[in-house]
Amino acid sequence: MTLRLAIVMAWRGLRANRLRSLLTMLGIMIGVASVILLVALGNGTSARLNSQLEALGTNLIGVFQARGSVSEGGRSQPLTDQDVEALRESTEVPRFVTVTPVKQASAVLKGVYGTWRTSIVGSSQDYPSALNRTLDAGKFFTDSQVRTGARVVVIGPRPVQELFGGIPAAALGQQLRIGSQMFEVIGVLEPNGQQDDVAVMPITTARTYLVGGGADNRVDQLVVQATGQDAVPAAMAKIERVLMDAHRIDDPTQKDFEVRSNLDLLEQYGEVTAVFTLFLAAIAAISLLVGGIGVMNIMLVTVTERTREIGLRKAIGARRRTVLEQFLVESTVLSGIGGLVGVALGVGLCVLGARFGAAFGDFAPPRLSVPSVIVAFTVSLCIGLFFGAYPAKRAARLRPIEALRYE
């Protein structure tokens, strides 16, 4: 029997029992569609996280106060303005593009149209370039305003939404009471999905009016901008050397600061999302397993129903291999058609999700993966072969005389 004839006979057998064939294929269809859709959702989530981190800058390095570690003298030194100057004035290679101090606080913004509590960031004039932020309206404060401690503030999209109806131009020039002082809004940041609920002011102003009383020279974080992504490892090594010298630390295990880059976060998120995607695919594969069991069940029923036919074919000369191939082809066609329908369903859901996902708020649209489509369809064919093997082998082993007497 040729393969073409076996496929034709299998198709006729499926058409003879349409409802039963459809119910059998349903498990395969759901399994294949689930694998494609869930892998696409995992890829979409991964792509969203990666794009957000890349928007922050893959050449950025953060320096933080370490927790739980102290120097040999038993004292943990905070990060200060002296550390900022040490990094800026270092002549070692590689050079840094910017070294930006960050002082953090929280305060209530009181305006004419309402109040809103937000995060306060005290920084330098390099803040926009260091953190890849752009302005939607207005301008950022200058070095002169940092040195004089000017009472100016640049607010993020969320305070604009809450206090000025979401209109950036309406916020410019307005007065906001922060703490006990009035501040002028000189700029509005564009949204980046990460740090939108924020108000940025000169670090000297934040120290004078919100934290430290003006005499504090400590910073909560340093943001160092390397010349490029490839220069990040060397830049991190340089930061550790400079700050260990500034803090008089000889043993690297006793550093009182931590150096982390966005590349590290990108790798960590990549590992997490890869495991997450694999987990989703494993869950979807359970549906394929259930569908395979359904294929085996139906093929066993088919063998039982066609026992006399098998006996007749073997009586007129059909070999065991021919009967085996016929039922293997039939089970493979059954699961293959289910796989094709499942592929169409999964791809269709991915396309719809990518097109209309934005309507559901902060939803990461699925990103279709061609390898997942190929693998899912291939697995559906393998399921037909694997779960159809036992019924086919059982049919091939039937003795002609016993099969002909079966009722």
At residue 2, the pLDDT reads: 61
For tokens 């991190």, the residue is 236
CA 155 to chain CA mean position, Å: 28
| Arithmetic mean of pLDDT, 241-246 | 90
Alpha helices in 57-111 (DSSP H): 81-89
Task: Name residues whose C-beta falls within 8 Å of residue 3's C-beta, 6 or more positions apart in sequence.
Answer: 329
Measuring CA to CA, which residue among 190, 151, 155, 206 is closest to residue 163? 155
At residue 1, the pLDDT reads: 52
Asked whether 270 and 50 are in contact (CB, 8 A), the reply is yes
Q: 219-248 burial, b for 16+ CB within 10 Å, e for fewer?
A: bbbbbbbbeebebbeebbebbbebbbebbe
- Cβ count near 212 (within 10 Å): 15
Amino acid at 308: R
To the nearest 10°, report the CA torsion of 204, 208, 214, 216.
Answer: -70
In the predicted structure, residue 30 carries a pLDDT above the cut 90: no
Residue 351 tokens read as 């396309």
Q: Which has more confidence, 321 or 261?
A: 261
Q: What is the 3-state secondary structure (H, E, C) of 191-244?
A: CCCCCCCEEEEEHHHHHHHCCHHHCCCECCEEEEEECCHHHHHHHHHHHHHHHH
| Arithmetic mean of pLDDT, 300-323 | 68
- Cβ count near 382 (within 10 Å): 15
Asked whether 405 and 312 are in contact (CB, 8 A), the reply is no
Task: Name residues whose C-beta falls within 8 Å of residue 261's C-beta, 6 or more positions apart in sequence.
Answer: 60, 61, 62, 232, 236
Which of the four pLDDT bands, split at 50, 70 and 90, describes residue 317?
Answer: low
- Return the percentage of the chain with pLDDT > 90, whole number: 28
Measuring CA to CA, which residue among 220, 216, 229 is closest to residue 103? 220
Residue 204 tokens read as 């000297």
How far apart are alpha carbons 106 and 271 in whole angstroms? 33
How far apart are alpha carbons 40 and 346 in whole angstroms? 9
252 cis-preceded (ω within 30 degrees of 0): no
Beta bridge partners of 122: 103, 201
- pLDDT tens for residues 327-340? 777 788 888 888 89
How far apart are alpha carbons 274 and 284 in whole angstroms? 15
Measuring CA to CA, which residue among 192, 147, 137 is closest to residue 167? 137
At residue 173, the pLDDT reads: 92
Give the range with max mean pLDDT: 208-212, 238-242, 303-307, 360-364.
238-242
- pLDDT tens for residues 159-192? 999 999 889 999 999 999 998 899 999 999 998 8
